[in-house]
Each structure stands twice: as C-alpha cells, then as structure tokens.
Structure 1
Amino acid sequence: MTTGPRTVEREQGTRPSGRDPRRRWWVLVGVGTAVLLASYVGFVLTAPGQALENAALRGADQVPERSLAESDQALAGITVVSLGLACVLVAVVGLARRSVPLAAAAVGTIVAGQVVTQGLKRVVLPRPALVEASEAYTGNSFPSGHTTIALTVLAAALLLATWRTRGVVMFVVASWAVAIAGYTLESKWHRLSDTLGSAGVTLVIASLAALWLHRRGLVRAVELPRHRARIVLVVAPLALGAVVSLALGVLLLVASSDVLGRDPVVEYNVYLALQSLAAFGSGATVLLLWWSWHRLEVVAPSRRATAVPGDGA
C-alpha cells in the first residue's frame, strides 16, 4: 500500500506520532475565528472600544520623528511588488522541494490571507460611527492588510521549512512579522483590533492549508532528538517577549483611567498599551503556528514511503 492520506515517512529515527495532528489545526481554526470575532465586536462595534482605539491614535501623534520614520519605512517596504516577489520566492522554494501541493499551499496561504482581509475590510465588516471623531479616525481598517501579509508570509515559511531548518526560519522571519503589527499603530495606519483581526485570519487560513496538506498524505511526524538550541534561542525569547508585552499593555491600560479626557499623557500611555498588546497578539500567533507544526513537517515526494498500518492520520 503506497498511497493515500495515511502515507508517512518510515526511516531510521522517525515513526508516526500517536496523536492525530489534525486536532491542533482544528483548534487553531476555532481560536482564530474567536479572535477575529471578539476583536471586531469588542473594539469596532462598541463605543468604549472605539474611544479607546481613537485615544491611542491621538497618543501616536507624540511618537518621536525618528521612530516614526523607521516605522513608515518598514511599512513602505510592503507593497504589491514586494508581495508578488514574496509569493514567487515561496513558490520557487516549494517547487525546489519537488512538491507542487506544498508550493500551492504556501502561496495560497499568503494570497488567501489578502483576499479574506480585503474582502472583510471593504465589503463584509462595516465600522459604525459610535463615538464623535474627526474624519481621519472614522475609516474602516479592520483587519490590517500589512499585519496579515507579515503573519501569512511567516506561516508560509513554516510550511516550507523542514524540521531541521525551522529554527533558522523562525529566527529570521518571526521578529519582522511581530514588529509589523506595532509599526502599523506607530504610523497610525491601523488600530489594535485590526492587528488582532489579522492574527485571527492568519490562524484560520494557515491551519486550513495544513489540514489540506495532511489530507493529501504530505505531513509526517518527526521523532528526532530535540533541538534545544531552537527552544533557547528562538521560542523562549518569543514567549518571553509576548508575556512582557501583554503585562506591559495591561499595566498601562490600568494606569490610564480617563481615555475620554483628552489628556496627552493618558493618550500616550494608551497608545503604548495598545501597541504592546498588538505585539503580544502577533507574537502569540507566531508561537501558536510553531506549536501546530511541532514535531511535524511536510514530506517531499521523493522521500515518501509506504503507509504505516494502523496510523490514525
């Protein structure tokens, strides 16, 4: 028996996992959907949510010019051309691994992320005027296209990476993907809810892509010695950064009592709080994507072997 969705690699040092990995991705589909809905309902469809995010936008006016120039430059680098080049590079890497389905899933994750994000923003999800604000603060920007690009590119990179190279990929791409969310708030291109909505979209689409690859029999369990260096140098710093960002955001929000008083100090604190929470949202998304592929990788066709009887995939 050589084909079918139960196909896994069987070589020295590897064996099928006793747990069905599809559960991880279905969990993330649910988590992503919940994050998307909660961020939209909580921030966009409520007056307190809109007031809080508007205060953060006013607080961003106090960002030093040098920092603002850096964030503007980072965001300006994400264009239709650079997105197209990223898709081409992803496709080339997928084909270099001799897998058209892998290339399609990786590119599809990026493309579908933008289709869904732009469709939600421009057609499906309106932003009602619930609080008095200037025209600059009333436009709908939910979810953030830039944040979706950053997170889906990382998700595509994780699909393409083998178990051995995943740590290097995360080290190179993760910090950029997390930083983009904060930059969008700093440059006043987006709100916290926009970045959280993008995180939800990414979790859903990346998980569905993984489930599709699994259904095609292209996902295998890896039972090799643990890469402690990856945990110490990549995963642990990401987790620590996410925890610190969450704690800082919560503390600053607690200290900001009156967001409607137009106090510059309060508004700047709210901006810092929401920027920290945006970094936490993207950092947590990266960690969840990594967790969903822990001890798993996509099998290149030339390395696929016979199905293992009794495998529960």
Structure 2
Amino acid sequence: MAERRGIGRFALAAVVLAASFVVTYLFFVRTYVGQIVDERAFVGASAQHDAVYKFMGMVLGNVPTVAVGGGILATLVIGLVTRRFRHLVVALGAGVVAVIAAELAKHVFLERAATGATDLLDNSFPSGHATVAAAAGFAVFVVSPSRWRPLAAIIGGAFAVLTGIGLVIEQWHRPSDVVAAFMLVAVCGCLGGIALLLWGVPEADPPARSLRVLWWVAGAGAIASAVAFVIIFITVQNHGSHLQIAYAGGGTAILSVGSAFAAAGNALFRRIS
C-alpha cells in the first residue's frame, strides 16, 4: 500500500511538471508578452560587469565536462562502492533520457514564434547545458544513501542554479530555457523514482531529513520573481524599460525553481533507501 502511494505521488508530480513545461513553452516562447518578459531579462543580464561575464564564459564552457565527466564519475563511484546497482541504472538512465529529450525538443519538436518581440528567432528552449547540469546533480542525488541525500540535493541544486543564472549572464539562454530544463529533468527524475519502487528498492530507515530551508528560499525567490513579472507585464509596451528588474526576476525565478525542485525531490525520495 505504501509503495502504491509512493508511485502515485511520483506519477502526479510527473504529470504536473510535464504540464508546467508545456505552459511555460506556450507562454514564454509562443506569445508576444512572454517573449518580452524573457527578452528583457536576457538583455538586462548583458549589463553585468565584464569580469563576471568573462568568468562565467570560462565556467560555462566547462559545464559539459564537469557535469558529464565529474557527475558520471561521482555517480559510478558512489553506486559501486555502496553496491546500489539499481540506483545506478536509474540515475544514469534518467539523465540520458532527459538530455536526449531536451535536444529533441529544442531542435526537432519546438519552434519559437515570430511575434515581433525580438529578432532572435532561433529556438533555445529548453537549455541543453542546464539540462546536463541538473541531470548530473540528480544522478549523484539518487545513488547517494538516504542520510546523505539532503546534502546531495543542496549541492546539486546549487550547481544547477548557478549554471542556469550563468547561462543568462553569458547570453546563451533566456530564463525560461533554464526553468524548462529543470522541469524536464524533474519529470525524468519522477519516472526514475517510479522505476525504483517497481524494482523493489527497500524503504529508508530512518527517512532522509527534510530541507525546509530550501522551501523558504524557493518562496522568497518566487515572491521576488512575481513582483518583477508584474512590473514588466504592466510596462510591456515600454520597450527596453526595467531591464535590471527583469534580469533580477529571471534570476530569482531560476533560484526559486531550482530550490523548490531540490527540496521536493528530497521529499519524494526521502523514504527510498
């Protein structure tokens, strides 16, 4: 009975996340207002100091290497040392599916509408770099023993969030691209949780600790992002205005979503050994 409830929670979360991904795409990529909100955050980020810009360029250029190489190595080491082979298969499988899905969505299935909000019409939704970063964090999180999962969630979430904000600063992606990548990885993570339960992974004793502080961070970020969104929305016809507010709103949105997903993932997996 407990296993069925666990599968139900993961399934419900996956459906909600998939629907949120679609809504995010339809608003921020297919509508004029959504593109304006995203574009102002994108342009506002370009005004960052040159030192920060150059530093983020060096860091982001190494994200695939660090995330794929370091993430896979850490996942393999933890999985093999702790003999958690089922977790290892699920962790790597979910990451591979998420990365492939992101590339197919961006280059094959999704298109950016020509609304007149911007001249940049190439679709960048969702971000491949953010997907790789989040997938690497999730893989390490899954193979970690339950008592270490809260720490893994915090470190993996921080890595994904910093990567996402850096992608906006470096002008590689808009905020919605990053948020969508997190959603995509979260969907695959939920499917991974279902796979572990169906595979008969034992229940954690004791369950992992909760991460209330991340919920507070997510809530504060959501409020700040919502305020920025309202300001941009009511001034949507004032082209080029409130760029720094838009950038701050985009950054706090990435922080909020990343923190919420780390906390929610920890809560969903807290009873899985």
1:18–1:52 Cα change, 3 Å: closer
Partner of 1:26: 11
Classify the secondary structure of the residue corresponding to 2:186: helix
Classify the secondary structure of the residue corresponding to 1:123: helix
CA distance in 2 between counterparts of 1:81 and 1:199 reads: 18
Classify the secondary structure of the residue corresponding to 1:262: coil
1:90–1:267 Cα change, 3 Å: same
**For residues 258-278 of structure 1, what are the alpha-carbon distances to aligned partners after superposition, in whole Å with 9 as ceiling and x for unaligned?**
2342345x1221121122112
CA distance in 2 between counterparts of 1:170 and 1:204 reads: 16
**Which of 259, 266, 271 is the equivalent residue of 2:236?**
259
Mapped pair 1:241 → 2:188: no
Q: CA deviation at 1:82?
A: 4.8
Q: Is the 8 A contact 1:118 1:145 kept in 2?
A: yes
CA distance in 2 between counterparts of 1:87 and 1:276 reads: 29
Which structure has more relative contact order (CA 8 Å, sep 6+)? It is 1
Mapped pair 1:221 → 2:197: no
**Which of 39, 55, 64 is the equivalent residue of 2:24?**
39
Between Structure 1 and Structure 2, how many residues are aligned? 272
* One-letter identity of the residue aligned with 1:290: N
**For residues 44-88 of structure 1, what are the alpha-carbon distances to aligned partners after superposition, in whole Å with 9 as ceiling and x for unaligned?**
111111122122222222112233234323322212575144224
* One-letter identity of the residue aligned with 1:215: L
CA distance in 1 between counterparts of 2:225 and 2:66 reads: 34
Partner of 1:308: none
Q: Is the 8 A contact 2:212 2:263 kept in 1?
A: no
* One-letter identity of the residue aligned with 2:195: W
CA distance in 1 between counterparts of 2:3 and 2:40 reads: 50
Once the two structures are superposed, the pairs formed by residues 73-222 of structure 1 within 5 Å of their partners are 73-80=58-65, 82-134=67-119, 137-218=120-201, 220-222=202-204
Name the structure with the higher helix share: 2
Partner of 1:276: 252
Q: Is the 8 A contact 1:181 1:282 kept in 2?
A: no
**Which of 47, 58, 68 is the equivalent residue of 2:43?**
58
Q: CA deviation at 1:94?
A: 1.6
* One-letter identity of the residue aligned with 2:199: R
Q: CA deviation at 1:141?
A: 0.7
* One-letter identity of the residue aligned with 2:44: G
CA distance in 1 between counterparts of 2:266 and 2:217 reads: 15
Classify the secondary structure of the residue corresponding to 1:21: helix
Q: CA deviation at 1:22?
A: 0.9
CA distance in 1 between counterparts of 2:43 and 2:248 reads: 11
CA distance in 2 between counterparts of 1:236 and 1:244 reads: 13
Runs of 4 or more, structure 1, over 4 Å off, are: 16-19
Unaligned 5+ residue runs, structure 2? none
- The structure number with the bigger radius of gyration is 1
Classify the secondary structure of the residue corresponding to 1:138: coil
* One-letter identity of the residue aligned with 1:222: A
Classify the secondary structure of the residue corresponding to 1:127: coil
1:119–1:281 Cα change, 3 Å: same
Classify the secondary structure of the residue corresponding to 1:164: helix
Q: CA deviation at 1:29?
A: 0.9
CA distance in 2 between counterparts of 1:81 and 1:148 reads: 13
**Which of 56, 71, 79 is the equivalent residue of 1:71?**
56
Output the TM-score relative to the length of structure 1.
0.79
Output the TM-score relative to the length of structure 2.
0.90
